[in-house]
Amino acid sequence: MAEAGTVLVTGGSGYIGGWCVIGLLQQGYTVRTTVRGLSREAEVRAWLAKAVDAQDRLSFHAVDLMADAGWDAATEGCDYVLHVASPISAAEPKDENELIVPAREGAKRAVNAAIKGGVKRVVLTSSVAATSGPTGLGVDDESAWTDATLATTSAYSKSKTLAERDAWALIAEKGGATSLATVNPALVIGPVLGKDFSGSIQVVERLLGGRVPGIPRLGWNLVDVRDVADLHIRAMTAPEAAGQRFIAAGHWAWMADVATVLKARLGEGARKVPTRKAPDFLLHLMGLFDKDIAGVASGLGRKHDFSSAKAQSVLGWRPRPMEESIVDCGKSLIAEGVV
């Protein structure tokens, strides 16, 4: 395969970052990825090897979102940077700055290092949490920005919104030949390659593990992690992606829809998946003892949809069928012994 260029992916030990590494290696790129400590290299290589065998083109660099050391060396000589690394939490932290500060500091360091290194383009992993209009209902697209000044805006939403705005401001101020694009994923599911994965997988993991007494009235736009990685790579090279935001979202699904697919397709593996509905008060009660549940209880019965029409029309991106993502996610959780 012809040499395609060199790409730095921050946060290669993470769920989206790992699949970005896989996608790039599959397409012939030389990949550098960052981890907080090089002691994790062997572990990350082992689970990446389940999906790709081109790891002779992969190297690891130790950097921290909150420290300058290592960023310039990791970025020097790269053609592109995918900045994926950022703190994530389903639960609301006691101090919102636990999420906000490292998200913003990491974005600034990644963009500054890219500009200094003469990188052609940075693709920043943002979130639909940064593209929410004032009502939090209906359908939003990339033109919407979350209001980070509102007291009702979650710490995670603030962190993604402020970090993305910081990145755009830096590029506008001193980007020069370095351009920026952002990918704003909805709720990411799909296959896992180990036991270290995103909190978004809890949607499937809690159902398969019987960790909910019933099915709550919760729903999201689901998107496959492989499709999110694909959109990053498309946004990285397409000339028309420069200066643009792209929502990565598939179809809306209620948790009951997810449960139905698991029951229908996974047989005995889905024996613990509940079939009855959970009343709203029960989820609020569980939230008193489970911070992750408390973090989503405010969304009960609310449908906030996001459009990926722009990614599809501009970049030719297509999300795979929701059922495929749910089934592959469930099968991988079972295979890895998570449930």
| Angle subtended at Cα 320 by Cα 314 and Cα 325, rounded to the nearest 5 degrees | 140
3-state secondary structure of 273: coil
Q: What are the angstrom distances between the C-alpha of 133 and each of 96, 138, 142, 152? A: 21, 9, 10, 13
125 neighbors 232 (Cβ within 8 angstroms)? yes
Please pick, among 160, 195, 272, 277, the residue that the annotation labels catalytic.
Answer: 160
Q: Is 312 helix (H, G, I), strand (E, B) or coil?
A: helix
| Residue type, position 48, single letter | L
Question: What is the spatial distance between Cα 28 and Cα 6, in angstroms, rounded to a whole number?
Answer: 9
**Which bin fits 83, alpha (ψ -120 to 50), beta or left (φ > 0)?**
beta
158 as an active site residue: the answer is no
Alpha-carbon distances, residue 49 vs 8, 170, 284, 306 (angstroms): 19, 36, 41, 33
157 class by beta-carbon count within 10 Å (0-12 exposed, 13-18 middle, 19+ buried): buried
Start-to-end Cα distance in the chain: 38
Round to whole Å and give the CA distance between 67 and 88.
19
CA–chain centroid gap for 145, Å, is 18
User: Could you count the other beta carbons within 10 Å of the beta carbon of residue 149?
Assistant: 8
Token pair, residue 36, equals 């907080």
- Rounded Cα–Cα distance for residues 82 and 72 (Å): 15
The label of the residue with tokens 């705005």 reads 165
User: Annotated catalytic sites, by residue?
Assistant: 160
